[in-house]
A and B are shown apart, each in its own frame.
Chain A
Amino acid sequence: MSPVKVKITYCAECGYEPQTLELAKALMYEFAHDLASIELIPWEGGTFDVRVGDTLVHSMRRDGGFPESKTVIAAVRSALAAA
């Protein structure tokens, strides 16, 4: 079974910390130690990207806005099932 990692890249100059923490918390509660890691990457330029494994499941630039937690949770569930 391959480890599933999540990366959240957020704009640290845009006040996106609450959405970042909310998503990280949702993943922690939902998956506990089933996830290998949740990495938070402070960035800039209005970024809010979420990657599950190798798949970019949300990009503010590409998709607009913030992702629903349930969408990311579903992507993680699929990745865990395939791992």
Chain B
Amino acid sequence: MSITKERFESGLSYQAYKEAMTRNRERVEANEKRVVLDPETVRALRSLPQPLNVVVLAEDWCGDVIANLPVLGRLSEEVGTLNVRIFYRDQNLDLMERWLNQGKFQSIPVFAFFDERLRELGHWIERPASVTELRARKRREVFAANPEFGNPDSPVDQLPEDVRTRLQAELQKMRDETTVFANAEVQRELRELVTALPVR
């Protein structure tokens, strides 16, 4: 599949996207600061035989966008070989239809890579599976260590408000503590994806 030059150029640059954010910009910029660029990934992206155009689907309310778009943003600023254009998912459902997660979910962010002639080469969706797995395990550990949180599979509305607030804080702490790993995994997956693309 391809995308027209006009359509691609109508997307927002990373900087323009941040400036247009109506919420969570501070979280995106805080995550940017926490990204430790992986030298192997930087080297691999700088060595690409041609620059890549990257279509991103995003929304500013989405936790995975807030977490993972800054990784791509930092990489693109560092390597100079990724030309990023960001589109709002809900205003570009025709694009979203191309990259549904498991063929049915409108998961974001989507990072879709195109060559110089805007032919699609590959794409990445949402977050690494390794991050989902690690956080699921850590979440179970949070519940195991705090019996007052109840069963991890039970609806939280039955918890007393103060307990629910503590649970929310513990889960946020767990996400913060796994951010370094998550950022590294996003870079690893992007490096493995991009270096396997048929770029000539």
Residues in chain A near residue B157, CB distance under 8 A: 7, 9, 39, 41, 49, 51
Residues in chain B near residue A56, CB distance under 8 A: 155
Residues in chain A near residue B64, CB distance under 8 A: 13
Q: Which of A12, A15, A39, A43 contacts B156 (CB 8 A)?
A: A43
Choose among A15, A41, A49 the residue with the greatest number of B CB atoms under 10 Å from its CB: A15
B59 within 8 A of A: yes
Assess whether B63 is in contact with A13, with CB atoms less than 8 Å apart.
yes
Q: How far is the CB of B113 from chain A (nearest CB, A)?
A: 25
Assess whether B155 is in contact with A15, with CB atoms less than 8 Å apart.
no
> A37-69 CB contact bits vs B (8 Å, 1 = yes)?
001010110010101000010010100000000
A14 within 8 A of B: yes
Number of A-B contacts (CB under 8 A): 37
Size of the A side of the interface (Cβ < 8 Å), in residues, is: 17
The CA-CA distance from A13 to B171 in the complex, in Å, is 14
Q: Which of A9, A14, A59, A61 contacts B62 (CB 8 A)?
A: A14
Q: How far is the CB of B122 from chain A (nearest CB, A)?
A: 26
Residues in chain A near residue B158, CB distance under 8 A: 51
The CA-CA distance from A13 to B102 in the complex, in Å, is 20
B61 within 8 A of A: yes
Assess whether B62 is in contact with A13, with CB atoms less than 8 Å apart.
yes
Specify the chain B residue showing the minimal Cβ separation from A18: B90
Q: 6 A-B residue contacts at CB 8 Å?
A: A9-B157, A13-B62, A14-B62, A17-B61, A39-B157, A47-B156
Since A15-B61, A15-B62, A51-B158 are in contact, a sample of 19 more A-B pairs with Cβ atoms closer than 8 Å, ordered by chain A residue number, is A9-B155, A9-B156, A12-B61, A13-B62, A13-B64, A14-B61, A15-B90, A41-B164, A43-B156, A43-B168, A44-B63, A44-B168, A47-B155, A47-B156, A49-B155, A51-B155, A51-B157, A59-B155, A61-B153
